[in-house]
Amino acid sequence: MSNPTGMAVGPTGMAVRLENVSKSFDGVLALDEVSLALPAGTMLALLGPSGCGKTTALRLIAGFERPDTGLVEVNGRRVASASSMVPPERRRIGLVFQDLALFPHLSVRANVTYGIRRDPDQQVRADELLELVGLADDAERMPHELSGGMQQRVALARALAPRPDVLLLDEPFSSLDQAMRTQLRAEVREILREARQSAIFVTHDQGEALTVADQVAVMTRGRVLQVAPPEHIYAEPATPYVATFVGVANLVPGDVRPSAAETRFGPVPLIGPGSRELSGHGLVLLRPEHFAIAEAPDGPAEDGGWEVIARRFSGSEILLEVRAADGQRLWVEAGGRVRHLGIGDHVQVTLREIETVAFGRRASGSAEATIELPIIEPARSRPAR
Ligand code: ATP
């Protein structure tokens, strides 16, 4: 079997597969029964806070670590289990790690051809890749003459040169400034798409994961909580932790019935398979863009209304934190005619016509799930669009 680029595709159609992989270091469980599958030609982001096991997962796939239990397959071929281990150089894997520097004494072209120097077509391949990464006119330059973003594109071309079955990228943009980062991640996405390259990249930046990947896997404490396409994971997160990690999340108490919840803003239709099993007291996910706000013309309402207690401006958007008299706080989006609102202003908050998910007690179950939230302050994470 082959995909449109001519790269071999294993019998499973999966570029990478992890089955029940666990890995401990000195008693610390870095990966806890992780199962993942990357369809050939797609991009997966491993997203999670520091220490959740992202890099360990990548290192296990690359062959730098051996799993304690479970198995790893690359392109349908078993490359690691508790009893077998294919060495990294025989796994057909390309690496773009943050600290994997270019060879400083070699030109751009020589860096790109380094891994294929015995290939008679190496110059043709280098021309093709330099064209792909937009560096066709820079082939003879030396790494120190290039910007950080250009150097990362050379690293990408170098990793792609041997036509790896899968490319692994570990925080590939983290050393770049914000503008370069935004530009390069869009470029890398297009480059990998065009090459139909299977890739897994690690990031702790949810905006990056949502904008670059076809599928996002959210991890915490060595476990994968959910794997889904970016828009799905944002709209229908499986747990409160995922909801909060992929964007700003207001978790508002509600009386949850199958397919709808009664909240202080009125009834809210629920979506997702999990919602059908819910019953009783729960938490309803409301994103900042789910609300409309307006200035309260006569100051505080009789019941106290909502008061702005924080304002966050990030250029393209403004988020306001508002508080009700009973202490309920919300992050709401404030664009257009309410851009000028600030701390101390009184506002009216209404819910738009939306559908969302709720978390809480299962109709059939007894105990309410313990709600675990990311340690990051939601206010610091940006909502994705
Ligand atoms: P970061 O974003 O900070 O790199 P991460 O999500 O990639 O974090 P890992 O580097 O995979 O997380 O680490 C997961 C856990 O395993 C952490 O508790 C870490 O300290 C531990 N760990 C990872 N590698 C080793 C090692 N070689 N020796 C001992 N402990 C390790």
User: Does residue 23's CB lie within 6 angstroms of at least one atom of ligand 1?
Assistant: no
User: Mapping DSSP to helix (H, G, I), strand (E, B) and coil, where does residue 29 land?
Assistant: strand
User: Does residue 99's CB lie within 6 angstroms of at least one atom of ligand 1?
Assistant: no
Residue 144 has what DSSP assignment? G
At 91 the pLDDT is: 94
At 304 the pLDDT is: 66
User: Does residue 53's CB lie within 6 angstroms of at least one atom of ligand 1?
Assistant: yes
At 257 the pLDDT is: 85
Q: Ligand 1: which residue has its CA nearest to atom 29?
A: 25
User: Does residue 203's CB lie within 6 angstroms of at least one atom of ligand 1?
Assistant: no
**Ligand 1 atom with minimal separation from the 219 CA:** 6
pLDDT tens per residue across span 66-120: 999 999 999 999 999 988 999 999 999 999 887 667 999 999 999 999 989 888 8
User: Does residue 174's CB lie within 6 angstroms of at least one atom of ligand 1?
Assistant: no
At 301 the pLDDT is: 65
At 187 the pLDDT is: 86
Where does residue 116 fall: left (phi above 0), alpha (psi -120 to 50 degrees), or beta otherwise? alpha
Edge-to-edge strand order for the sheet containing 278-286?
266-269, 260-263, 250-257, 278-286, 358-362
Q: Ligand 1: which residue has its CA nearest to atom 21?
A: 30
- pTM score, whole prediction: 0.86
At 10 the pLDDT is: 56
User: Does residue 25's CB lie within 6 angstroms of at least one atom of ligand 1?
Assistant: yes
The Cβ-side half-sphere exposure at 76, using a 13 Å CA radius, reads: 9
Measured between alpha carbons, how far is 69 from 18 in angstroms, rounded to an integer? 11
User: Does residue 52's CB lie within 6 angstroms of at least one atom of ligand 1?
Assistant: yes
Which residues of the chain fall short of a pLDDT of 70?
A: 1-12, 99-100, 274-276, 299-304, 361-385
Euclidean distance between the first and final Cα of the chain, in Å? Answer: 37
